[in-house]
Amino acid sequence: MSARLRAVPVGVHLRAVPVGVRLRVVLVGLFTMIATTLGVGTASAHSVVTGSNPAEGEQISAGPDRVSVTFNEALQETFPALTVVGPDGNLWTRSEPSVEGATVSAELGELGPVGDYTIAYRVTSADGHPVNGTITFTLTAEGSGTPGAPAAGDAAGDAEGSSGLPVWPFIAVGVVVVVGGLWFALRKPRDEN
């Protein structure tokens, strides 16, 4: 029996495999591929935020002298961005940001209207990738500070996300593989005789 199967052409051999088995093989491949794709975002080790002052979600009654965001490892010192935009839409940071070790910081001080303030940061990871994001805190008591210029859109943002790799090519390849695999698994075996 097996000797006879080994003798027939490969194409016929494949068609001898039941559709259910072929479908299972395709599904296992599909899940492997999805897992691989999801792993792409975490494979490279970007610097990760470990804390900030003020902290995410913190309620404060007065601004600290400096606003800072700290990462898990020393940053590269090139082109840091760090802004605080108030509920009035104005900039409240009073200096350019500076990087010292794992921390990027800028002068802040007295704030203004009560409400949500958003810290926006962009730094260069130790591995050379840009990392950006936002942190929001709340001022609970009105300050007497003078705001800076109106924030022009997303001051520190608009760079690519924290993952340096675009994901869509992986998704496109995945769709092609899945559609091809399903077509192969589900097509009617042709009667050879």
- Which residue ranges make up the site for Cu ion (CB under 5 A)? 44, 46, 125, 127, 129
CB 162 within 8 A of CB 46: yes
Q: From the CB of 126, what's the least distance to Cu ion, in Å?
A: 8
Quickly tell me which residue has 């490892």 as its tokens. Answer: 73
Nearest residue to Cu ion by CB is 129
Beta carbons within 8 Å of 129's beta carbon, 6+ residues apart = 44, 46, 162, 164
Phi/psi of residue 67, nearest 5 degrees: -95, 135
Q: What is the DSSP letter of 18?
A: -
Q: From the CB of 184, what's the least distance to Cu ion, in Å?
A: 37
Q: From the CB of 78, what's the least distance to Cu ion, in Å?
A: 14
Q: From the CB of 45, what's the least distance to Cu ion, in Å?
A: 6
Q: Which is nearer to Cu ion, 96 or 127 (CB)?
A: 127
Phi/psi of residue 170, nearest 5 degrees: -65, -40
CA 160 – CA 91 distance, rounded (Å): 22
CA 104 – CA 76 distance, rounded (Å): 10
Q: From the CB of 125, what's the least distance to Cu ion, in Å?
A: 5
Q: Which is nearer to Cu ion, 109 or 133 (CB)?
A: 133
Quickly tell me which residue has 């998704």 as its tokens. Answer: 171
Q: Which is nearer to Cu ion, 75 or 156 (CB)?
A: 75
Q: Which is nearer to Cu ion, 45 or 175 (CB)?
A: 45
Q: Which is nearer to Cu ion, 147 or 164 (CB)?
A: 164
How many other CB atoms are found less than 10 A from the CB of residue 43?
9
